[in-house]
Structure 1
Amino acid sequence: MTPIIIGFICIAIFFLFLVLRMPVSYAMLISGLIGISFINSTSVALRVAATEIYSSFSTYTLSAIPMFIWMGFLALYAGIGAKLFDFAHKMVGHLPGGLAIAAQGAAGLFGAISGSNTATAATIGSIAVPEMRKHGYNDSLSTASVAAGGILGVLIPPSTLFIIYGIAAEQSIGLLFLAGIIPGIILMFFFMVIIYIVTMRNPELAPRGEKSTWNERLQSLKGGLWEVGVIFALSMGGLFAGWFTPTEAGAVGAGGVLVLTLLTRKLTWEGLKNSLFDTLRTTAMIMLLIGSAVVFGRLIALSRIPFELGGWVESLVLPSFAIMALILLIYLILGFFMDALALILLTIPIFYPVVVNTLGYDPIWFGVIIVLVAAMGVITPPVGVNVFIIKGVVKDVTVEEIFRGIWPFLFMIILLIALLMVVPEIATFLPYLDFFN
């Protein structure tokens, strides 16, 4: 068999493992070992696995991941998310769907110190969903809006998905963080608009709340908002200004949250222990996934699938945007079955050379697109990890009911992707400003 046939067979084996409910990291590692063994030998495959996994685990750049993850969990257990929701609630709670709109604002603000879609969804969901249900909101709307809002946690920097993409594609993580700011704000606005439209057309879905006074709104600023501003200015400001590397920015951010929450006595000893445990568990999962993906990526390179795919794309008599749309459709379909992180790690070795080298698209722009498309998978069936997180928060609401409310938000994400295709400067404007270069 030729290397390319072996490559496709191993990809099929990988998806078979997924169907059999094998963890994604193990599925990628075993499929990669099988393929390399057939192309070279078993001893080479084992040597590649040992070398690449050790190399991945010892990479200095990857140490940014546990730092940003810890920063998010510290904020979670310190109750900063609750303060952010209270501020957003007092600002827009009187509008149609005001509590759901407030949840989007809180998710966007929490995303600025979280970097995780699951942490954002869990934090804002545990606060906002019970509040919305108490005010008579429709269960499908309340749960779906928070599940979708969790996506803002991986688009607004810091973002673990941007870190992973930057490492896999060898792109600047700082520039990727900058690229996510404007699209993240636009997506938050789109989510707010669609909630407003849906609830205006059907007011029974979300009864209006009482309007807060300006004094109450100003008082709410004393909650978690100033802390988010300080933390974001410390970590992201230093990174964008060139004072810190991404790893140092993560350490500064985590240290800043720890000091602030201890000084304000918002973090308990139990909360500190839980934040460390959750950070360790999440980091171990991500690192194993990265190491396995590197081995699988080596198989993809040896099989020459990217080169053959690039040649096939060049032979197509289609405009670049049509080919790009086809690639995005493939991502969307894969997102139904795979976690966002695994999807990025699996597909970058295959599609990145085609999109950047063959089609000529900007790699920073492509990073934003990929994070958006991969993030769609966290709210679409059957995987939809954010949906299952919200299900864990509200146990008496069915998964099917949450998924039913997702579609308007999914449409907004597709609308933003289309907008980025037409106006790529939305993503590339900040990264290529002279101020940041």
Structure 2
Amino acid sequence: MTDGTFITLISVGVTFLFMLGVPVLLVIAYWVVGCSFVLGLTLDNMGAELLNVFNKGFALLAMPLFILTGDLINKSGIARRLSDFAYACLGWLRGGLAMASLGACGLFAAISGSNSATTATIGSMLHPEMVKGGYDERFSAATAAAGGTVGIIIPPSIIFIVYGFLMNLPISDLFVAGIIPGALMVIGMQVACWIICRINGWGYLIPLQLNRVLKTAFGAWLGFFAIGLVLWGIYTGKFSPTEAAGVTVGFCIIAGLVSWVLSRVMRQDPGRSWEDKSYAEMLVVEGFTLKQIPGITMRSAEITGILAPLIAISVVMQQILSLLGAQQVIGDFVTAMGGYYAVLFTAMIIVFVSGMVLESLPVTIILAPILAPIAASVGVDPIHFSVIFLVGASIGFITPPYGLNLYVASGVTGVPYFRLLKYTVPYLVALISVWVLVALTPELALFLLPDR
């Protein structure tokens, strides 16, 4: 048999393993090892390439730190305070609690940088509240899944770090470019949510009270400070993304430990409603103890232990695809489409279809080095294209058959995966509409960059 036949058989075999539920890391690793043998590449070469990825990947150090940040703000109770503030602002609208959960996803994403962490945290906190508030449990779970899509767009973003590392682009510029598109994604989903809730009459209304808004905003000050710290440091150039991640982790640890001590001194009861708490009590969150930090760190390390090998093996996969000529084939196909908009929308369709079956990380690592140079050749700004690419990849989080956020939401809410699909459609329409708007309007990504 020819090399092409062997590679085809290997590809079919790993696709079958993927359909059986074998982890993506192992599927890619099996394909890489098999193709390496067929092409006559040694395992020593693969090992050297895997090590080289991290030897030159200083920017990747920000990834585990931002993951740890998300776990710290969740454990400390800061995430709960952010969601309380969002509900105080939006609870007077029909579907206000669901819209607040989407807003809370945006606020949480502005600190954690992770889609799955955003979905899991907000879903576990607000899904029970939404069900008690008269929402359909399937819609509630789908809302948490959809809200998590902004986790990789609103800075800081783990996937923007990976994209910048691969394409040699300033990660700080990528972070800033994601602010407006990420906010538009949240607003678009909130509009879709409001329409669906009005049609179905879901949700109980609460009066809009200035005192409640001010009190919950005051109570969420630690979260706002953490968001401002990250954005200020990166936007002004005071911190690199990696340094910003380290500073934020340090702040969250100090805030969590001090808050735990103060909450015990003040005998704060987290279960009391906002009406019964004084401003002094609202100033302090639940916090955590020194003994809890190793457990929090271990959970973050487990997630990093999944992502880091996937990045490394996907880089080797990209090299093998290049040897096989796959990049040339895809590149010729996209280039043949013609001008600016034809190339741009063809690239968007490829990203969308790929996101239906793969997680955003392998999609980025495999396709970004192929599509980005082609887009640049027809005049698409590299920063603008990065936002277009990753917004499209984020939509894949709620697009079957893969839909990672749907699985996460199903796991934390107990609603079966297939029962969520119907209620993701309005959110998909909203996200795709925003995606097209961002693609057609470069200023939405480039406006906040001073040198663009």
TM-score by structure 2 length? 0.88
9-18 vs 124-133, greater mean Cα deviation: 9-18
| Contact 1:29–1:295 (8 Å) recurs in 2 | no
> Aligned Cα RMSD in Å?
2.2
Which string of whole-angstrom CA distances, capped at 9 and with x for unpartnered residues, describes residues 219-249 of structure 1? 112222x112221232331122112221111
Q: Which residue of 2 aligns with 1:295?
A: 316
What is the one-letter code of the residue matched to 1:303? Answer: L
Q: Which residue of 1 aligns with 2:418?
A: 400
SS of match in other structure, 2:398:
coil
Q: Which residue of 2 aligns with 1:216?
A: 212
For residues 398-437 of structure 1, what are the structure 2 equivalents within 5 Å?
398-431=416-449, 433-434=450-451
| Contact 1:66–1:280 (8 Å) recurs in 2 | yes
How many angstroms apart in 1 are the aligned matches of 2:23 and 2:135?
Answer: 36
In the TM superposition, residue 12 of structure 1 has moved relative to its aligned partner by 5.2
Of 220, 223, 230, which aligns to 2:225?
A: 230
Q: Which residue of 1 aligns with 2:255?
A: 260
How many angstroms apart in 2 are the aligned matches of 1:8 and 1:423?
Answer: 40
Q: Which residue of 2 aligns with 1:327?
A: 347
What is the one-letter code of the residue matched to 1:427? Answer: A
Question: Are residues 217 and 287 of structure 1, via their aligned partners in 2, closer, same or farther at CA, if it must alter by over 3 Å?
Answer: same
Alignment of 1:251 onto 2:271:
no
How many angstroms apart in 2 are the aligned matches of 1:218 and 1:16?
Answer: 54
Of 72, 77, 90, which aligns to 2:75?
A: 77
In the TM superposition, residue 30 of structure 1 has moved relative to its aligned partner by 2.8
Which string of whole-angstrom CA distances, capped at 9 and with x for unpartnered residues, describes residues 384-430 of structure 1? 221222222222x3322222110000011110111012112111222
How many angstroms apart in 1 are the aligned matches of 2:6 and 2:369?
Answer: 16
In the TM superposition, residue 272 of structure 1 has moved relative to its aligned partner by 2.2
| Contact 1:69–1:116 (8 Å) recurs in 2 | yes
For residues 7-406 of structure 1, what are the structure 2 equivalents within 5 Å?
14-39=14-39, 41-43=40-42, 46-58=43-55, 59-203=57-201, 206-224=202-220, 226-265=221-260, 266-269=286-289, 271-316=292-337, 318-357=338-377, 359-395=378-414, 397-406=415-424
In the TM superposition, residue 108 of structure 1 has moved relative to its aligned partner by 0.9
What is the one-letter code of the residue matched to 1:223? Answer: G
How many angstroms apart in 2 are the aligned matches of 1:264 and 1:389?
Answer: 30
Identical counterparts, % of pairs: 32
Question: Are residues 89 and 302 of structure 1, via their aligned partners in 2, closer, same or farther at CA, if it must alter by over 3 Å?
Answer: same
What is the one-letter code of the residue matched to 2:228? Answer: A
171-180 vs 419-428, greater mean Cα deviation: 419-428
Which string of whole-angstrom CA distances, capped at 9 and with x for unpartnered residues, describes residues 14-57 of structure 1? 53442343322222233223334333x242xx122111111223
| Contact 1:310–1:353 (8 Å) recurs in 2 | no
How many angstroms apart in 2 are the aligned matches of 1:94 and 1:426?
Answer: 30
Specify which structure has the bigger relative contact order, considering alpha-carbon pairs within 8 angstroms and separated by 6 or more residues: 1
Which string of whole-angstrom CA distances, capped at 9 and with x for unpartnered residues, describes residues 280-300 of structure 1? 001111110011011101112
Question: Are residues 12 and 246 of structure 1, via their aligned partners in 2, closer, same or farther at CA, if it must alter by over 3 Å?
Answer: farther
| Contact 1:7–1:300 (8 Å) recurs in 2 | no
How many angstroms apart in 1 are the aligned matches of 2:335 and 2:10?
Answer: 25
Which string of whole-angstrom CA distances, capped at 9 and with x for unpartnered residues, describes residues 262-284 of structure 1? 12123323642332111100111
How many angstroms apart in 1 are the aligned matches of 2:6 and 2:328?
Answer: 15
- The number of residue pairs the alignment matches comes to 425
